[in-house]
Amino acid sequence: MHTPIDSNALATLFSEARTHSAWLDKAVPDALLEQLYEHVRLGPTAVNSCPGRFVFVRSAEGKQKLAPCLSKGNLDKTLAAPVTVIIAYDEDFPETLPELFPFADARSWYAGQPALITENALRNSSLQAGYLILAARAFGLDCGPMSGFDGKALDEAFFAGTSWKSNPADQPRLRRRQQAARPPATPALRPRLRPRLMENRPCNWLNAKPPVNSALQ
């Protein structure tokens, strides 16, 4: 068991982290994005399947392709972001399993089962999207995750003729973190939404006494 990370690290990843929609006019270096992925890829997935695929949209050409796929409310703030990461999954991920999981013939578990492939690709690429957001925060990047986009249009624009498909759950936008503190209530950063579901609602404490006033059955 490792030593727990300190309160500052927890604040960076969770308690003080925010969803951003305004961005610094400052590029995110290639080296930082490469370092980011080096850590994202280490996050666990089922049988080390790693089905997540990541498209880093930064160029004017890339943003032009992305724009028609975005909902109206997400258009301007997404195009203004230094980097938008399209989270996708690869339906051919079983082909990499002999390399990534050599301990068993895991590829055969998915043979002829397209529904199982999609289910596992979607589930595990969603995990990887979460790893990306946490890693980005750890490396000093602010994130603005969003899901307001047309997945079919996105797939046609970026993944036509491939085995990749966009994950409908999340497309994070990234920027370098501001050094100066932002005023507490600006149009770009709303007051923090403190309410979250308390543990007695989303958590089922199997084989243990449930929390007081638990609504769980």
CA-CA distance, 52 to 41, in Å (whole number)? 9
Vertex 172: Cα angle to 170 and 178 (nearest 5):
150
Q: Which residue has the higher pLDDT, 195 or 116?
A: 116
For residue 169, the model assigns a pLDDT of 76
Cα–Cα separations (whole angstroms), residue 103 to 46, 92, 111, 206, 208: 13, 19, 17, 32, 35
Instruction: Please tell me the pTM assigned to this model.
Output: 0.84
Lowest mean pLDDT among 15-19, 50-54, 94-98, 121-125: 15-19
SS (H, E, C) 92-152: CHHHHHHHHCCCCCHHHHHCCCHHHHHHHHHHHHHHHHHHHHHHHHHCCEEECCCCCECHH
Alpha carbons within 13 A on the beta-carbon side of 76: 3
For each of the domains in the chain, give its residue range(s) and CATH number, in order of start.
7-176 (3.40.109.10)
Q: What is the pLDDT of residues 50-65, one digit of tens each?
A: 999 999 999 999 999 9
Lowest mean pLDDT among 67-81, 169-183, 194-208: 169-183
Q: What is the pLDDT of residues 85-106, one digit of tens each?
A: 999 999 999 999 999 999 999 9
